Amino acid sequence: MTQNVLRTRVDHRAFVVPVVLLVLWAIASSLRLVDPHLLVPPATVAATLVQMLGGADYWSAVGSSLARVCGGFVLGGAAGLVVGVVLGVSRIAERIGAPTLHGARSVALFAWIPLLTAWFGDGEVAKVALIALAAFFPVALNTERGCRQVSNALLEVGRVLEFDRWTTVRRIILPAASRSIVTGLQLGLTTAWIGTIGAEYLVDQGTGIGIALSSARIDNRMDIILIYMLTLALMGLALNLIVRRNVVDD
Amino acid sequence: MATRFASFVKPIAAQPGVCSVKRPSLRWWIDPRTIALGLLLPVTIVVAWSIAVRLEIMRPQILPSPLTVLATARDLFVGGELLAALGISLGRVVVGLAIGSLLGILVGIATGRSRTIDAYFGPTIRGICQIPTIAWLPFFMIVFGIGEGLKLALIAKASFLPLFVNTSAAMRAAPERFHEVADVLELDRWQRLRLVVLPAALPLVASGFRMGLSNAWHVLVVVEMVAAAAGVGHLMAWSRTLFQLDAVFVTIVVIGITGWAMDATMRLIESRLSPWTANA
C-alpha cells in the first residue's frame, strides 16, 4: 500500500527543474557572472560536502539538534497532553484556562526568547524551554478539542456503566479523541523542529544545525550554509514521511 | 438563461461538504461569569508575580514588578516609541505579504490549473519549502545584506508557502459535477471562473492568506531581533540587551495582541467572504 503510494509519486519530470537549475548555477559561476562569495561554484559545495561528511562537526551538529528536538518535544508534548485533557474534560477548567492559553499562543514563538534567555541563561535550558513551548501549544489545543468533541452517546455509555471520572477519561474520552491527539502530536513535532532551528540560531551557544548556520553566516561561507539548508530540506522531508505514514496507518 | 441558473449554481459550487451557517455570537464575550473566570488565571499569575517580587525570589533585574511593567508600558506608549516601532513592523509585513502572497497565488494557480506545470515545478518548490524559514535567514543575509530587502524577502518566503499550497488545491476544489452543470448551462470561460471556480477556491485561498499573515508576523519578529534598527522585534531585543525586562514584557504583550488582532480580523474577513464555511 505504502509502496504503491511511493512508486506513483516518483515522476521523472520532477527532476527536470533541479537539473536545469544546477546547470545554470554551474554555468553562471564558471563564467563568474556573480560574486563567487554569493554564488559558490557547485564543485566547491561538493568538495565542502565531502569534507564535512567525513568530519565530526557536521554529525555532532545534526545529532545535537535531533537530541534537542526530542527532549523539547517530550517535555512540551507531555505538558500539552495533560493540560489539553484537563481543559477538554472539565468545563470549569476550560473556562478558567482557555482564555489564558489562547492569549499566550498569540505571542509569536520566538518572541519568548529574550525572556527565556534572561531567566535561564544562554545555554541549553533556554533552548529546550523554547522547543517545549513550541510543541506544547498544538498538542494542548488539539487534545482539548478532541476531548471536548467526544460524542454524547459514548459518554452516556460510560454513565450507564457507572464509570468514575478517571475511568471515563481513560476508557472513553482518550480513545475517542486519539485521532485529534495524534494530529496535535504531529503538528507539535513539526513546530518543535522549527523551534529547534530558531532557538539554536538565536541562542548560539553549543552545537547544532542552527548554530552552525549562524557561524557560517558570520564567516561568510555560503557553501556551508547551502549544505545545512539541504540537510534541513532532507530532514523536513523525512519528518513529513514519518508524519504522513502515521496518518496512513491510522 | 445562464444568469438565471447561475444564482443557483453559486452556493452549491461553494460548499465542499459542510453547510452550517453559524454566526459567531457576541454573547460569549458579554457574559460576566465567563469574563470573571477567564480573568481568574491571569489575575492569579499577576498576584503570584507581585508576591515573588516582594519576597525578592528573583532579582528585580530579571523579574521587574508588574507596576514597573505598567509604568514602562505607559511611557513607551505615550512617548510614541511603541507605536512608531509597531508602524514600521506592520509596514514591513504589508509589503512582504503582498509580494509573497501574489507569488504564491500566481504559482498556485499555474500548478493548480495545469498538471504538467505541477509535475515539473511542484516537487522542486515543495522540496525547497521543506527548509524552515528561519534557516533562510543566513542565506538571505549574505544575498541581501541586512537592509529592508532582507526583511521583505524573508516575509515573502514565509507567506508564499501557505498561499501556494492552498491556491493550488483551491483550483481543484470545485467538484467535477459542478463543471458538468456549467457545461450544461453553457457558461463561458469567464462565467465559469466567476461562478464555479472562484467561489469554491475563495475559502481555501482566504485561509491560506490568514496562515501566510501569521507566518509573516512570526518571522518578522525573528528577523527584527537579529538584524534591524527599528521595529517591535528590535525594540524587544534592544531592551533585552540593556536588561530592561520591563520593556521586554511590554513588547511580548504587544506582539501577542497584534498577532491576535491580525488573526481575528482575517477570520472575520474569511467568514464574510465565504459565510457557507463559517467555523470551518
A126 with A238, same domain: the answer is yes
- Look up the pTM and report it: 0.85
A148 and A163 share one domain: yes
Q: Are residues A24 and A148 in the same domain?
A: no
Q: What confidence tier does B27 reach under pLDDT thresholds 50, 70, 90?
A: low
Give the span between the Cα atoms of A218 and B263, in whole angstroms: 35
Span B47-78, pLDDT tens digits: 999 998 888 887 877 888 899 999 999 999 99
Residue B107 with chain A: CB contacts under 8 Å: none
B218 to chain A: which residues are within 8 Å by CB?
Answer: 108-110
Least Cα separation, residue A161 to chain B (angstroms) = 33
Whether residues A206 and A237 fall in one domain: yes
For residues A119 and A167, membership in a common domain is answered with: yes
From A159's Cα to the closest Cα of chain B, the distance in A is 28
Judgement on whether residues A109 and A173 belong to the same structural domain of the protein? yes
Please give the ipTM for the structure prediction: 0.84
Judge: A111–B251 Cβ closer than 8 Å, yes or no. yes
How confident is the model at residue A69, as a pLDDT? 95
pLDDT at A246 over 70: no
Interface check for B29 against chain A (CB to CB < 8 A): the answer is: no
My answer on whether A125 and A49 are in the same domain is: yes
Q: Given this model, what pLDDT does residue A239 score?
A: 87
Query: Residue B21 has what pLDDT?
Result: 44
Q: Do B239 and A220 touch (CB under 8 A)?
A: no
pLDDT at A17 over 80: yes
A103 interface with B at CB cutoff 8 Å: yes
Please give the mean pLDDT across all residues of chain B. 84
Are the beta carbons of A110 and B221 separated by less than 8 Å? yes
Residues A50 and A26 in one domain: no
Q: In the numeric block, which cell numbers belong to residue A225?
A: 550554509
A13 in reach of chain B (CB within 8 A): yes
Structural domain of A29: 1-39
* Residue B19 clears pLDDT 80, i.e. is over it: no
- What does the pLDDT average to over A171-190? 92
- Do A134 and A211 fall into the same domain? yes
Q: How many domains does chain A have?
A: 2
The 3-state secondary structure of chain B reads CHHHHHHHHHHHHHCCCCCCCCCCCCHHHHCHHHHHHHHHHHHHHHHHHHHHHHCCCCCCCCCCCHHHHHHHHHHHHHCCHHHHHHHHHHHHHHHHHHHHHHHHHHHHHHHHHCHHHHHHHHHHHHHHHCCCHHHHHHHHHHHHCCCHHHHHHHHHHHHHHHHHHHHHHHCCCCCHHHHHHHHHCCCCHHHHHHHHHHHHHHHHHHHHHHHHHHHHHHHHHHHHHHCCCCCHHHHHHHHHHCCCHHHHHHHHHHHHHHHHHHHHHHHHHHHHHCHHHCCC
Are B236 and A213 inside 8 Å of each other by CB? no
CATH number for the domain spanning A155: value is: 1.10.3720.10
Q: What mean pLDDT do residues B200-227 have?
A: 91
Chain-wide mean pLDDT for chain A? 88
> A109 and A19, same structural domain?
no
Query: Inter-chain contact A114–B240, Cβ cutoff 8 Å?
Result: yes
Chain A contacts of B162, Cβ < 8 Å? none
| A31 plus A151 within the same structural domain | no
